[in-house]
Amino acid sequence: ESDVPVLADVSFEVAEGETVALVGSNGSGKTTLVKLITGLYAPTSGKVIVAGSLTTELDRGDFHRLVSVVFQQFDTYEATAAENIALGDWERLLDDDQAIEKIADDVGLRPLIDRLPEGFETELGRSFGSTALSGGQQQVFALARASARPVPIMILDEPTANLDTVSGTQVIDLIKELNQKDGQTVVMVTHEREYAMGCNRIIHMED
C-alpha cells in the first residue's frame, strides 16, 4: 500500500542451469524481488513466471517441488543436529541417517557436528539451551536444509552475510558445485563483489 512502487521496470530472464547474482544498494528491492519469485508476494502488476507457470497460479506444493530458499532471517529449530538437516526434506530424510550425514559432508558441516557433545544427536535451539550456535554456524545449517531437497531452482538471499571470508568462500564453492553437478539454477542476492563476479551474470538493481 505504498504510494511509490517498490519495483518498477524490472524485466529479465534466468536460463535453466544459470547462476545469477542480484546486486544493488540497500532498499533497491532485491529481497522483495526474491519474495515475488518464490510466490511469497503476489505482484500488483506485471507477472512472474517460474518454470513456465505464473507464480499466481502455482500452489505451495508446486513451489516446494520447484524452489528452495535461504533468506537472511534464519534460525535453528528446536531439534537435534540431524533433524535440523532432515527438516529440509523431512518425509524422505527423517529416518535416513546415511543421507543426512552425506548432506553434512557435502556442505562442510561434519567438522562442526563432530565437535558437538553428542554429534548428530546433539539437541539444538533455545529451549534446550545446552549448545549455542553462532550466526554463521546457523547459516550453514540453513544451507544444508536448503540443499537437502533436490529442486531445479535455488534462491539465496545474502547466503554469506554471517560468515567469515573462509567460510563464505566455502559456501560459494558449494553453491557452484551444486549448480555444476545438478544443473541447478541459482539466483543469489549478494553485496560481495567477488562472489557476484563468480556468477554467470550480474543483474544490478537501482532506484
What mean pLDDT is predicted for residues 139-157?
Answer: 87
Q: What is the pLDDT of residue 116?
A: 93
pLDDT digits (tens, 9 = 90+) for 21-34: 999 988 889 989 99
- Catalytic, 158? Answer yes
DSSP assignment of 66-90, as one string?
Answer: HEEEE-S-----SEEHHHHHHGGGH
Amino acid at 3: D
Neighbours of 132 (CB within 10 A): 12
| Residues contacting residue 64 through CB under 8 Å, at least 6 positions apart | 149
The model carries a pTM of 0.82
Averaged pLDDT for residues 115-127: 87
Cell matching residue 141: 545449517
Q: How confident is the model at residue 192 (pLDDT cuts 50, 70, 90)?
A: confident
Integer CA distances (angstroms), 8 to 28, 38, 44, in order: 11, 18, 11
Mean pLDDT within 51-79: 85
Beta strand pairing call for 201-205 and 19-24: parallel
The pLDDT, as a whole number, for residue 178 is 66
Mean pLDDT confidence for 124-137 = 74
Which of the pair, 162 or 67, is modelled with greater confidence? 67
- What is the pLDDT of the chain when averaged over all its residues? 86
Mean pLDDT of 51-74: 86
Q: Which DSSP string corresponds to 129-145?
A: -S----HHHHHHHHHHH
The answer to whether 61 and 53 are in contact (CB under 8 A) is no
173-182 mean pLDDT: 71
The Cα–Cα gap between 104 and 102 comes to 5
Among 44-58, 105-119, 158-172, which is the least confidently predicted range?
158-172
Among residues 83, 123, 158, 192, the one annotated as catalytic is 158
Lookup: cell for 3: 504510494
Q: How far apart are CA 35 and CA 69, in angstroms?
A: 10
Given the C-alpha cell 552425506, which residue does it identify? Answer: 102
Cα 108 from Cα 102, distance rounded (Å):
10
- Check if the beta carbon of residue 66 is closer than 8 Å to that of residue 48: no
